[in-house]
Amino acid sequence: DAGVTQSPTHLIKTRGQHVTLRCSPISGHKSVSWYQQVLGQGPQFIFQYYEKEERGRGNFPDRFSARQFPNYSSELNVNALLLGDSALYLCASSLETGPFYNEQFFGPGTRLTVL
């Protein structure tokens, strides 16, 4: 079975531009989470979606938004890019979400470089 897939693999943008990153979860998984991993740091939680609804949001500005589609795939959008947005963006999927543990399976990430 295919794991979590993300596209594109790499992306170069300039300051002020907009970017859309895409994620396809493992088949049967209904929850998708997004993380930002700046070089030399651990992943930082951005969003969690379940059944197309936002279930969690990290401490990120409103320039960051996301959505989940009926097929459970997801998009992360970042507006007005800043140099500091350069990072590896990781998507993780899990069967579901809730007040109990659901193992998250991570994709390989999208490397975003902002010039």
Partner 1 sequence: AQSVTQPDIHITVSEGASLELRCNYSYGATPYLFWYVQSPGQGLQLLLKYFSGDTLVQGIKGFEAEFKRSQSSFNLRKPSVHWSDAAEYFCAVGAREGGSYIPTFGRGTSLIVHP
Question: Least separation, in Å, of the C-beta of 19 and partner 1?
Answer: 19
Nearer to partner 1, 57 or 63 (CB): 57
Footprint of partner 1 on residues 49-108 (CB under 8 A)?
Answer: 50, 55-58, 90, 92, 97-104, 106-108
User: Cβ neighbours of residue 68 under 8 Å, at least 6 residues apart?
Assistant: 32, 49, 50, 51, 52, 53, 74
Burial class (CB in 10 A: 0-12, 13-18, 19+), 32: buried
User: Cβ neighbours of residue 61 under 8 Å, at least 6 residues apart?
Assistant: none
Nearer to partner 1, 7 or 14 (CB): 7
Q: Taking CB under 8 A as the rule, does residue 48 contact partner 1?
A: yes
Which spans of this chain sit near partner 1 (rule: CB under 8 A)? 4, 33, 40-45, 48, 50, 55-58, 90, 92, 97-104, 106-109
